[in-house]
Structure 1
Amino acid sequence: MNSNPGKGSAQGAACVLAAAMLALAVSCSFRRPTVEEQLSGDKPALTSYYVRSALRLEGEGDYRGAAGFYRKALELAPFDPDLHNNLGSCYYYLGELDSAVAEFTEAVRLLPSYSAGYVNLANAYRLLGRLDLALAAAREALRLEPTDARAHVTMGLLYERMDELRLARKEYEIAVRLAPSDLVARWNLGSAYLRLGYLNPAIENLRYVAEAEGENPRARYFLAVARLAKCDPEGALQELSKVQGSPSWRRDALYVTGEALWLQGKHEEAVRSFREAVALAPQVPEFRYNLGLALLELGQIEEARRELAAALELRPGWTNALIRLGESFEEAGERAIAAQYYRQAISADSASFLAWQRLGRVLVDLGRVDSGYAALQRALKQWESGKESGPRPPGQLATLDDWTFCAGPEEARKSYVEALMYLGKAYAAQGQYRAADHALRKALAECPTCPETYETLSQIHRVSGRESEALREEALAHWARGVQAASRDSLRSALWYFRRALQRVPGLGEAHVDLGRVYLLRGQLDSAFTFLRQGLLIDERQARAFRFLGDYYAQAGKLDQAIAFYLRAISEEQEPVEALRGLADVYMQLGSAEEAKRMRAQAHFLSAKALLREHQTDRALDKLEEAIALNPRHPGALFLAGHLLYQREMLEPALAYLSRAVELDSSQAEARCSLGAALLDQGQIQQATRHLEAAIRLDPSLARAYFQLSRAYLEAGQPERAREYLRHAESLGYKVPVEFIERLAGAVRESR
């Protein structure tokens, strides 16, 4: 028995401690060596280990850790260009651009044929803002490897930094041709097309990126913007529904959602969407502006004014915000304050048609006729100088103002028509009734269904003692309101207005015809026929009546008579799109599918031409493609599609369309000219010259054919002949680019 347990325990503890120390010593003497220690005698293997470790960390996004391993690798292999390039890439992603440049520079010094190193060097210089050095590096990369898609993308990015978007787009196009599945190239090309306003190819490339990357919110957002720019709010909303869950894109998605809903006429929903966008980003002036403008349109003036004032505070001197603030006071009857805002808008932008128009309007209403007249004249001058510009490409945050063209040509010209109407009022106030009548007739030529213009004419005629004319204009005002109601499918209201018009003037042919049309829409065929026939008896020039009678006979099953009236409408109407569609339907009922296709193709062709007048090129191209699909032998559609694509420098599809158009109809001077120009751009000088000379024979007054022929002869080394054709072009009023004149002058000097 142990009589001394304390002593015995101490001895046992000492034994345990000694054993533990012995075990530790043994374990230390057998520690597993690290990979670096194992490979310390094999430099290639150790270098490879460092590179593998760096690549793994790069894949995880740890560029700092990766850079550490690359530096270790370079201590063992300091002359390896790939290691310098990889280390430079880590510095690039870390934002340490000077260090990145140093590594990329060393990579290409060690291997002068290293095209990838030059691409990386160009991108680093681009982010540093040293564009001259970036361009030199990118050009060297392309010299070494002309088929490197990444090098072309880099060159495109550089051109974008230099505001040379068209050159950038060409580089991106080359990149996509070289690497069709390269998402970076596709994204940049789609973005460039969008900024240029080339919506169809923008949508094609952005959709490719969006589908390849799943639910890429950035691609979906810009895809929605492109579809909205094509006046396709439903398509835009479909794309935006896939963006809402992304926190980083939610605010912008809400904003564009509001615009799409507004275009659909869902104004209350649009306001809710704008409110949400403003709540997320109250500092964005466009968000506040759209909310203010939407509220103003809904009559919520006080709140609209607060939002517009906030937008103006965020973006001082914003012309449109000043105009809309003026409108908010004008709407409240405070015209003097409104005039002050309109004057501020003119101070901010003296070329603003809308500011001059609004100022003229309010001054006329205030009785300051002379000043109002002067402002309206200035407004009309600004309209004439800017009317060819069309809708702007959606390259930045758009506002509701930018989508006016989607509401149709009459809505887009509404302010112009109003300017003419108020000018007529100003003339009338000065006693110049003939001038007033002229201004108002001009307004009606732009908008024949604007009731306010007829009402103004009626007032002027009544003041000048022409009561019968005043009564007729009053009846036409009712007719115009009826047409507007019918366009909104408010058939009961339309009937009321048309009957009121006929009460004023029983012999108003327009009202008889449109009353017949409403009865036709309501299925009351007998009444429809009675009024349509009466409209024609009153005025045989009512071309629409022939179309509606075609509709009547088609509904009545009398197809031969329907064809006769549709054909008469087609011969009488300037743009018989609806008559062509009606005729196509009748041909389908008769089993003449080919004739039906031909009629529909012509309808699409005419619709395309109408869209082009409103500067909506992509929608026009859609219509032309539909026309060609229905009738591949439609020379007009083929030419127009080819010409539009040539204007966009899309030579391959342009040549395909233009060649086919000329093959079908070689007597089209414009088609021969466009084909020659496209061939010339492809370097096919002899073929181009042949078509251009043929164009001039067909139309000796075609100025651009002379210019293109001048280009052809210059390229062929015949500067004297080129100068001869240039003189012809200039004599016909062609505006020759200064660069071409200088180039030709230099070639002429050298030839002597």
Structure 2
Amino acid sequence: MKDGASRLDDAAAEFKVELDSNPNEFFANYYLGVVYVIQRKWDLAVGLLEKATRIEPRNPDPYFHLGQAYQALERHRQAIEVLRKSIALNPELSHNDYQVTTAHYRLGQSLIKDGQKDEGEKELQTAADLKSKSLSRDKERAVAYLSATDLHEQNGKFPEIVSTEGIVAEGPGADAKTEKELRSGEDYYTQVIASAHNDTGLLRADRQDFRGALAQFRLAAKWNPRLEGVDFNWGLAAYKAESYKEAIPPLERVLSASQSNAQAKQLLGMSYFMVESYDKASILLADVVSLKPDNVGLYYTLALSLIKQGKQNEADQVIRQMVVKGGNSPQLHIVLGQAYYEQGDTAKALDELNAALALDQRTLLAHYYAGLIHLKAGRFDDAVREFEGELALNPSDLQAKYHLGFVLLARQDVERGIRVMREVVGLKPDFADARYELGKALLQQGQLREATENLEAAARLAPDKSYIHFQLARAYQAAGRKAEGDTQLELYKQLKEKERTQTTP
């Protein structure tokens, strides 16, 4: 139970953070109140759950848990009032058989405690009848999980699977029966907390805080990996947060469970593309194109995936389909520019990218790809101009910002380059390449503490990159940390030898 208690403390901390930033948010008040019910902090639970009923007066759930808190505090008349409200708002088993049944059971208890014996016994009999109906179902079924097809289609309710008696306000002491009920209750509340994190993630996604949403969906999956929709939400939030590598495992699980899920297939294909797994991307995106033949953007990414694999004939077929579907579009010229670039014809590649901009000056990625061509050709001033042009159209393009910082450092515009790289790391702390470039630049400037921090982060994020360990060794040595420097230098040599072995035919 210690591990469970620790996890509840973690959950409470998360909901307090949400409550501090949004004090009138229903989910933050409601779920923190539920945590306090679990922890038997009844007075704290009452305050939060009462506020939750004021925020959403037509929602039966906070009334239900508030009834338990009132019972534990021997405030039975108030318990009667809120339990009746919960039942009135939630009269059928279809919403939640456990909650409806237990509400009648608790109401019966409080009525009897309040001297209303006949009414109380009627409620207890109602609870028994409802429980009998519930027990006729499959007791092992997965119950009423959140139904989610995307980040915004959620019903906001949580699953409840514990037996009726297990959640009635307990008196002091813990006999064998009570211990069994508490274990059953722990299963139930594990799912409550998982749903709480999922709901909080939805709120943050609605505010376009995809990194915050990602953290919440990650926690929801930790509490209950089987929570319906959580893998899709996790994968979508990771994709939106540009954490493409993290998006892949949950989306793979979604697709494994449902091969016909076109949304998951498209997101997974795009994620593979972003991590340069072009073979996997092209297989999935080809399937999605057949399902969504009018989406020109899919042809664009599929064609690029094939070009990156050197499958020019297949790419040409996709490009011809693009022409049929989209005509002389900017996206068509960007794909053609990529094709020419892969063939080594940078002049024609730039001509195609300029043709895309001639059709629409606000075409995204044309400046970016032109910047990459100039960067690789050593034309740093032209590259800076193109990356700045991309950021003028799309200030949130992290790759364009990173490459701008990279080329600024390459042309020795160190102060501005460091400033841009700091912005990139601030926006995406797990961007290993940005951490490395920033750390290396700071090391050259003698800023050892910040340089070391960034190089250490880069080494954690990309432990198999030899060059990171080489720069980290230099940072440790410069800071007088010889033993650590020697360790990193030895690791660099081992990785370098491994790289040579792998590239030797």
Normalised by the length of structure 1, the TM-score is 0.28
